[in-house]
């Protein structure tokens, strides 16, 4: 860990593991095994969590491409896992290690600080401060410019996205996970480019692209003139090291 400040593992879509000096964060995990073209993740099993301390599992919202109830099985071998959940997530048998949050709230647990922001869809986005790092996960906070929408709807989507970014712009962010969704066709890059220009994170990691890994290379080239470092992701379980 002395050679880098965080190890980031891409799980699938918007799912990531971020390992810092003393903590393990899991963002928006769901297992893509329902897609026959993709291997299921072999890392997130009971044995992985049994060997980890200070594990925080964060869920930005209840959409099935960001959340699965499977995550609650992980505590069977590691009862110290803490779950930070958008309040739209419906969990059975609510336990003391489940923390439900609304947007614009703050939570401090041990040495980790979590602040929530809004989204342009369901749920919330997360700002996590841990081990000297500031990490932002957008959830579904995106500039949703759909070609079939009316100009009025497109203008509202732009305004809503930029208004939310305005609330974040005074934060120093080391690592940001931002949607780069190829379903938006030629407008896939809007949120990532605006976030890069406005927030200027040290590392901007594209997400929310399913199995369309090619979009990360395309995005990297698209905004290569901007400040953030942009990694490319070519498969499930690709690893990115943040050295600062």
Q: Please state the domain extents for the chain.
A: 6-242
Quickly state the pLDDT bin for 92 (edges 50, 70, 90): confident
Which token pair is 36? Answer: 């026959």
pLDDT tens per residue across span 213-223: 999 999 999 99
The structure's pTM equals: 0.94
To the nearest 10 degrees (0 to 180), the angle between helices 190-199 and 151-168 is: 30
Closest by CA position to 138, among listed 204, 232, 217:
204
Q: Assess whether pLDDT exceeds 70 at residue 39.
A: no
CATH number attached to the domain at 6-242: 3.60.15.10
- pLDDT recorded at residue 36: 38
pLDDT tens per residue across span 99-131: 999 999 999 998 999 999 999 999 999 999 999
């Amino acid at each position: 860990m002395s050679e880098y400040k965080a190890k980031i593992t891409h799980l699938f879509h918007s799912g990531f593991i971020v390992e810092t000096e003393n903590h393990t964060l899991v963002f928006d995990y769901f297992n893509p095994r329902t897609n026959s073209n993709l291997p299921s993740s072999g890392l997130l099993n009971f044995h992985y969590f049994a060997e980890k301390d200070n594990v925080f599992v964060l869920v930005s919202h209840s959409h099935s491409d960001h959340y699965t109830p499977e995550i609650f099985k992980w505590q069977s071998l590691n009862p110290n896992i803490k779950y930070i959940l958008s309040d739209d997530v419906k969990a059975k048998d609510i336990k003391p290690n489940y923390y439900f949050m609304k947007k614009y709230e703050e939570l401090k647990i041990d040495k980790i600080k979590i602040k929530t922001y809004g989204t342009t869809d369901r749920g919330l986005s997360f700002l996590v401060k841990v081990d000297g790092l500031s990490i932002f996960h957008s959830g579904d906070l995106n500039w949703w410019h759909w070609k079939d929408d009316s100009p009025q709807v497109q203008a509202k989507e732009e305004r809503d996205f930029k208004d939310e970014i305005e609330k974040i712009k005074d934060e120093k962010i080391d690592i940001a996970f931002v949607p780069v969704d190829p379903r938006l066709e030629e407008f896939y890059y809007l949120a990532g480019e605006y976030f890069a220009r406005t927030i200027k994170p040290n590392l901007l990691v594209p997400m929310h692209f399913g199995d369309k890994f090619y979009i990360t290379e395309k995005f990297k080239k698209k905004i290569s003139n901007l400040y953030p470092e942009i990694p490319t992701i070519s498969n499930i379980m690709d690893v990115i090291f943040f050295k600062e």
